[in-house]
């Protein structure tokens, strides 16, 4: 009997110790909730930034506590990145997922208070915002509100008329707070729409040139600026140019992310790509000096530049290979005749 009592007391002590040990962990987990950001379906094509849901649905603009764990879950059918910063500028460094393939995830924590803008390097029209506030700020506000409400209820428990007045006043305060909150949300949404509009102006029907950016190291490089000005000021000014860019992007973004990643990992490959890009960028610069005012002129100059590039990248190598082949055959015949 004595042994059983001691055994039961020991088990009870272990159980209580376990509860005490896990309580701080549970509280810590509650203090730092997890948030998931998902792109809307089809956000890899320009247009989602002009919808009510934007490109990240309800989580386009989120407010979290410092220390919150955020997971970017790519539920779309194409690869995306979640990169801190704004389109057209340098990444700010708070987080950068790299290329996240469909059904893959990227998890990070936000530690510092402030507002963090983010976008997709592959599809720059996809923009969002994370507002980081002091840890536990939301819970403290709720607790203070509850304490004030309980105190008011106790003070007014003997006076029903005053209680009614207090309730009415509280309802008016809550209503005012809701109005202020709505105005703040509208302000944030408006600011986000402005940013989205700016981003749309810069990337509509275009998007970032991933290969050239990885090659020259920055979107602010002169070569990238040249390509962007050519796209925005010349090609997209015509319907035929806009249609060409739309079709080109559908193909380009299927392979360019992989090449850009390979360039970042392999400096020798990056230098090789730079040598290969130089003739194309030089030929495209001809369009900056052309006076293009009509669809016919756009088609004419466009086809000329395309044929020029085909000649440089296909015709010249093919001619060189054919010439070398004939020289080898001639040498073989000469050798056989000498024997």
Q: What is the pLDDT along the chain (339 residues), one digit of tens a residue?
A: 445 555 555 555 655 555 555 544 444 444 557 899 999 988 888 888 889 889 999 989 999 999 999 999 999 988 889 999 988 777 888 999 988 888 999 999 999 999 999 999 888 889 999 999 987 664 555 445 455 545 544 454 444 434 444 444 444 455 444 445 444 444 444 444 444 444 444 444 455 678 888 888 877 788 888 887 888 778 888 888 888 887 887 788 788 888 888 888 888 998 999 898 888 888 887 777 777 778 888 888 888 888 888 988 888 889 899 989 888 888 888 887 776
pLDDT of residue 14: 53
Question: Which regions of 110-185 does DSSP assign to beta strands (E)?
Answer: 114-119, 127-133
Q: Note the pLDDT of residue 337.
A: 77
d(CA 201, CA 50): 12
User: What is d(CA 292, CA 307) in angstroms, rounded to the nearest whole number?
Assistant: 18
Query: H/E element holding 63?
Result: strand 61-65
Residue 339's pLDDT is: 67
Q: Does domain 36-203 have CATH number 2.20.25.90?
A: no
Side-chain-side CA neighbours of 142 within 13 Å: the count stands at: 4
Find residue 105's DSSP bridge partners: 73
For the chain, domain boundaries = 36-203, 210-338
Q: Which residues contact 196 (CB under 8 A, 6 or more apart)?
A: 49, 50, 54, 125, 127
Q: Give the separation between CA 224 and CA 220, rounded to whole angstroms.
A: 6
Q: CA 31 to CA 39: how far, in whole Å?
A: 26
- Helices 239-265 and 295-310: crossing angle in degrees, nearest 10, is 30
Q: Within 10 A of 49 (CB to CB), how many other CB atoms are there?
A: 23
How many whole angstroms separate alpha carbon 334 and alpha carbon 339?
9
Q: What pLDDT, on a 0 to 100 scale, did the predictor assign at position 182?
A: 44
**Could you report how far apart the first and last alpha carbons of the chain are, in Å?**
112
The confidence score (pLDDT) of residue 147 equals 55
Closest CA to 202 of 321, 49, 14: 49
């Amino acid at each position: 009997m004595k042994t059983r009592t001691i055994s039961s007391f020991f088990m009870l002590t272990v159980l209580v110790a376990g509860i005490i040990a896990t309580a701080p962990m549970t509280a810590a987990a509650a203090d730092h909730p997890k948030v998931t950001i998902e792109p809307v379906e089809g956000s890899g094509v320009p247009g989602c930034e002009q919808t009510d849901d934007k490109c990240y649905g309800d989580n386009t603009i989120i407010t979290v506590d410092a220390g919150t764990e955020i997971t970017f879950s790519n539920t779309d059918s194409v690869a995306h990145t979640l990169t801190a910063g704004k389109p057209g500028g340098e990444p700010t460094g708070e987080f950068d997922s790299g290329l996240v393939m469909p059904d893959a995830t990227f998890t990070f924590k936000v530690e510092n208070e402030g507002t963090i803008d983010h976008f997709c390097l592959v599809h720059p029209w996809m923009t969002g915002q994370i507002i980081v506030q002091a840890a536990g700020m939301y819970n403290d506000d709720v607790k203070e509100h509850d304490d004030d409400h309980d105190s008011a209820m106790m003070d007014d428990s003997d006076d029903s008329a005053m209680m009614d007045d207090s309730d009415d006043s509280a309802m008016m305060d809550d209503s005012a707070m809701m109005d202020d909150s709505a105005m703040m949300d509208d302000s944030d949404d408006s600011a986000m729409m402005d940013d989205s509009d700016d981003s749309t102006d810069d990337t509509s029907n275009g998007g970032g040139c991933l290969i050239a950016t990885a090659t020259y190291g920055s979107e602010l490089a002169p070569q990238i600026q040249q390509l962007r000005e050519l796209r925005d000021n010349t090609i997209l000014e015509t319907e035929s140019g806009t249609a060409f860019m739309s079709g080109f992007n559908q193909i380009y973004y299927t392979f360019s992310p992989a090449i850009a990643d390979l360039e970042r990992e392999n400096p020798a490959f990056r230098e090789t790509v730079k040598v290969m890009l130089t003739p194309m960028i030089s030929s495209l610069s001809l369009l900056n000096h052309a006076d293009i005012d009509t669809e016919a002129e756009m088609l004419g100059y466009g086809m000329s530049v395309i044929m020029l590039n085909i000649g440089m990248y296909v015709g010249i190598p093919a001619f060189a290979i054919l010439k070398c082949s004939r020289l080898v055959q001639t040498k073989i015949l000469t050798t056989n005749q000498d024997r």
